[in-house]
Amino acid sequence: MSPLQSSATTKQQVMQLVNNQQFKAARSLGQKLCKRYPADAEAWFLLGAIHGQLKDFQEAESCCKRAIRLQPEHAGLHYNLAIALLNQGKVNDATDCYVKTLELKPDFIPAYSELATIYIQSLYFEKALTLLEAAVRYLPDDTDLHLKLGLVYYNLGRAEDGLRAYHHVLTLEPQHVEATYGIGRIHRFQGSLTEAKVYFEKVISLKPDHAEALAVLGGTMKDQGRVDEGLVFFRKAQAIQPNRADIHSSLLLNLNYTPATNPEEIFLEHCRWGKLHSNPEYTISSPNNSCDAERPLRIGYVSPDFRAHSVAYFFEPLLLQHDRSSFECYCYADLRLHPADSTTARFEHHADHWRDITLMNDLEAADQVRADGIDILVDLAGHTAGNRLGLFACKPAPIQISYLGYPNTTGLPTMDYRITDFRSDPENETDPFYVESLIRLPQGFLCYQPPQDAPDPGQDSTSSSEYITFGSFNNLAKVTPDMINVWAELLNLVGDARLLLKNSSFRDEPTREYYYAMFLKVGVARERLSLMPGTASLKTHLAAYNTVDIALDTYPYNGTTTTCEALWMGVPVVTLRGATHVSRVGFSILSQVGLEDLSAASVESYLKIASGLAADLNKQRQFRKTLRKKLLSSPLCNAEKITRSIEASYRKVWKDWCIHRQTKQEQTGNR
């Protein structure tokens, strides 16, 4: 038998062992084969594949590279090397190998699909799209390729293309769960909430334990203002996947909207989140920051909302006003849910240091924070979408603070403080509902940056009509049945008044009809309501306030940005305050502007203030003329003053930490 025949026979024997899944025996024989025929690229290729089956990816990589040196134009070798590299976390090297595979063999479909997956996970959606559109020309009816196409189109905002891709999957497999789920997500993105709901319900009928569909169905119900119904689905989703911190966070956020759940229950659920999702094994050891009470401090701000977002209106003034001689500012941005925009570019410019942590897991992000030597790490998101509370669970900074983006406790035992004020959180009243110690700023915890391109406040809207128009531009989750009852009573008190509600969810006709029906049940005829969908730009959104005489705040979840915007447009806001932060923010804002008399402690007082203001046209006209100037001269817009107050708080908690640290070191040294 010739050496070549001997080699071929041995390869056949190796393949037979592989086919019988006797991988260890195949490896042993394959190693002998490669030792005897070191110039045989196919032998090394085979041995590399066997190492891959045994999950010994480092050896698989070595074998593939050996084979490629012998046969560099073999596409399959580069493909196998890509797999070995990817399984070792060497994503960039694997990407290069997939690209090389396709250069050598343009119809190598698995390489298209797997490289597209890498690009999707890395948020390079345009690159993924180029690959997938090329791949479907070779396999026009491949389900996996069209699923990925639907996802990519969704993330690029190309809704109709995404629907077409997902519907193509359904023509091939009518009961396909993920395609059905993808269609539902796109309909929700388009504002077709009722149609989205139909698809999510179909997913759940096909796969009752589909936690994502249950959670997104809960979110869709919330978008329609049906919060209590939505909570049922959030609870089911959380029970199915208790380790999904994001689903649990969505449940917590939605608990804030409903008056049916008392503050203690909400607090305990937040604490349960903290217990479930802060594993001590992943907590980084105590940071070793220099214990100097007077030195300049490194402050880190973490947010998914460094973009055109409500948080930006209140955070950008702080970032601009920070005293750079005493505070060095780091911004840690997660842009997974929303791409960067012009606002992102401004934040990147304003920050002393910009860190994109989008593709980092929590431990990697925590390592980055610690490497940066951050003294105080500040969360700006709480339990809102895209939050990185898992990073804070690792405790990478000596002091960690919750601020701004969320109206409740984080529930995290590693979160030390929360920034608020005396009106939002009266001393000794709301403290039991927080795991954090409260830092109460003297003037107010919010600093509003008015939009630069806002239209001027119009003349009083009643000058062109014969009736008063009340308005609320808050999201529908805040417009509870109880709130509708109160507004119906107000409309009965002011017999010729109208009510304008503006919200993006009103693009969905069944949602509008649902609200018309709810108001009709409490005696408000359709002609007294105007339900306006969202508008294309902030400027046109703000201009809609020129048709409103008096803005009505919601309860128990007060508005924040909506209240500030109404005041900026010269429209007074009547708010109802309660016993917890979420229901006292309106009171805090109005107090900063000297309008605390528009804040009511009871429904009766709320109705009295609103109806009394409706009867006083002169007062309304005065608000139109003076509110914007009043805002600009108030603490609410005094960025420098509020920033100095926050900096003083940072310095105080830092000094407290230094004293505690020194005391602990002294005690340890005396043992």
pLDDT for the residue numbered 278: 86
pLDDT for the residue numbered 670: 56
11 — pLDDT class (breaks 50, 70, 90): confident
Instruction: Give dist(CA 577, CA 585) in Å, integer.
Output: 8
pLDDT for the residue numbered 2: 44
- Which DSSP letter does residue 499 get? E
Residue 348 has pLDDT above 80, yes or no: yes
* Separation of CA 664 from chain center: 38
pLDDT for the residue numbered 671: 55
The average pLDDT across 145-169 equals 97
Residue 113 has pLDDT above 50, yes or no: yes
Provide the 10 A C-beta neighbour count for residue 326: 14
Domains of the chain in start order, with CATH, are 1-105 (1.25.40.10), 280-441 (3.40.50.11380), 461-637 (3.40.50.2000)
Residue 610 in tokens: 């609103």
pLDDT digits (tens, 9 = 90+) for 277-315: 987 666 666 778 999 999 999 999 999 999 999 999 999
669 — pLDDT class (breaks 50, 70, 90): low
Provide the 10 A C-beta neighbour count for residue 282: 13
Give strand pairing partners of 300: 330, 377
pLDDT digits (tens, 9 = 90+) for 612-652: 999 999 999 999 999 999 999 999 999 999 999 999 999 99
pTM of the model: 0.93
Instruction: Give dist(CA 219, CA 205) in Å, integer.
Output: 18
pLDDT for the residue numbered 9: 85
What percentage of the chain reaches a pLDDT higher than 90? 91
pLDDT for the residue numbered 8: 85
* Mean pLDDT for all residues in the chain: 94
pLDDT digits (tens, 9 = 90+) for 562-581: 999 999 999 999 999 999 99
pLDDT for the residue numbered 663: 85
Residue 460 has pLDDT above 60, yes or no: no
Among the ranges given (344-353, 385-394, 417-426, 657-666), the one the predictor scored with the smallest mean pLDDT:
657-666
The average pLDDT across 165-180 equals 98
The average pLDDT across 419-429 equals 97
459 — pLDDT class (breaks 50, 70, 90): low
pLDDT digits (tens, 9 = 90+) for 75-90: 999 999 999 999 999 9
Residue 18 has pLDDT above 90, yes or no: no
DSSP per-residue string spanning 24-93: HHHHHHHHHHHHH-TT-HHHHHHHHHHHHHTT-HHHHHHHHHHHHHH-TT-HHHHHHHHHHHHTTT-HHH
pLDDT for the residue numbered 287: 77
Sheet containing strand 599-600, edge to edge, reads 529-532, 498-502, 469-472, 550-552, 573-576, 599-600
Residue 26 in tokens: 């195949």
Instruction: Give dist(CA 386, CA 336) in Å, integer.
Output: 7
Instruction: Give dist(CA 339, CA 522) in Å, integer.
Output: 43
pLDDT digits (tens, 9 = 90+) for 20-74: 999 999 999 999 999 999 999 999 999 999 999 999 999 999 999 999 999 999 9
Burial of residue 359, with CB atoms counted within 10 A of its CB: 0-12 exposed, 13-18 middle, 19 or more buried: middle
The label of the residue with tokens 């071929």 reads 8
Interior angle at CA 573, CA 568 and CA 576, nearest 5: 145
Dihedral of alpha carbons 247, 261, 278, 306, sign: positive
H or E segment to which residue 540 belongs: helix 538-543
